[in-house]
């Protein structure tokens, strides 16, 4: 990615991994109506999608195949708080995944039971302002999806879009998760259906 950002366009021919990331970032930009922007720094930087992609790829290559072992009930991989999980077909295991309250670190605003799904969170609490975004009191977005790459993309795009615009995208794309707005509190949503805000 740094080679491409420095103008070395031939890297698109040299690396199949980079080709995959480049295409995903372009598709993410289109699907999110530009709120996922791999050029948000003025040069190419699709890091908002790469972490989820890398975790999911390792998970599918190294961990998911373990589910063929009858002794393995489930597998999960956590990378910086973003999680991809799966369970065996005959397993009753559920991965209970907590969402940290950005105003009160160490405390949870809720839990999501994951079986064959992924969860990604983006916000300003841990890393400060690191995303080019619309002025908004939105401070954290968590997305649940079958794919961590998709969840990571929408969490990043949600922070960039701000609360008002992201609520429209949630309904349009039937997203599931929770967002935290500094003014109106917690808003949960499931398959595009937005629930009432809860003050945190």
Which has the closest alpha carbon to 178: 151, 160, 147, 150? 151
Q: pLDDT band for position 7 (50/70/90)? A: confident
Whether the Cβ atoms of residue 86 and residue 116 lie closer than 8 Å to each other: yes
| Domain region containing 153 | 2-194
22 located within any domain = yes
The answer to whether position 60 is within a domain reads yes
Domain contains 88: yes
- Which residue is it, tokens 């605003």? 109
Q: Read off the tokens for 68.
A: 């063929």
Determine the 3-state secondary structure of 101 from DSSP.
coil
Residue 11 covered by a domain: yes
pLDDT exceeds 70 at position 131: no
CB 144 within 8 A of CB 112: yes
pLDDT at 40: 84
Q: Which helix (H) or strand (E) holds 187?
A: strand 185-190
Indicate which CATH number applies to the domain containing 59: 3.10.520.10
Domains contained in the chain, number: 1
102 vs 131: which has the higher pLDDT: 102
Instruction: Say yes or no to pLDDT of 130 above 70.
Output: no
pLDDT over 80 at 198, yes or no: no
Whole-number pLDDT of residue 199: 58
pLDDT of 43: 85
> 78-100, pLDDT tens digit by residue?
998 999 999 999 999 999 999 99
Tell me which of 105 and 88 has the higher pLDDT.
88
The answer to whether residue 200 sits within a structural domain is no
**pTM (2 decimals)?**
0.92
Extract the tokens encoding 156. 């990043």
pLDDT of residue 127: 55
State mean pLDDT over 115-119. Answer: 97
Task: Give residue-wise pLDDT tens across range 150-161.
Answer: 999 999 999 999
Residue 170 has pLDDT above 70, yes or no: yes
Distance of CA 188 to the CA centre of its chain: 15
199 belongs to a structural domain? no
């Amino acid at each position: 990615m740094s080679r491409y950002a420095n103008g070395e366009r031939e890297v698109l021919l040299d690396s199949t991994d980079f080709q995959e990331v480049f295409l995903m970032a372009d598709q993410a930009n289109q699907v999110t109506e530009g709120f996922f922007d791999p050029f948000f720094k003025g040069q190419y930087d699709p890091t908002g999608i790469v972490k989820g992609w890398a975790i999911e790829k390792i998970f599918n290559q190294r961990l998911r195949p373990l589910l063929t072992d009858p002794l393995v009930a489930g597998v999960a991989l956590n990378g910086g708080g973003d999680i991809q999980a799966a369970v065996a077909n005959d397993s009753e295991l559920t991965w209970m995944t907590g969402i940290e309250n950005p105003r009160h670190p160490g405390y949870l605003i809720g839990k999501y039971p994951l079986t064959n799904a992924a969860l990604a969170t983006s916000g300003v609490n841990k890393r400060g302002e690191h995303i080019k975004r619309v002025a908004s009191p939105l401070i954290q977005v968590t997305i649940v999806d079958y794919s961590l790459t998709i969840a990571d993309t929408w969490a990043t795009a949600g922070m960039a879009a701000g609360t008002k615009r992201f609520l429209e995208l949630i309904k349009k794309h039937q997203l599931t998760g929770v967002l935290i707005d500094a003014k109106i509190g917690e808003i949960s949503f499931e398959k595009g259906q937005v629930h009432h805000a809860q003050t945190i």
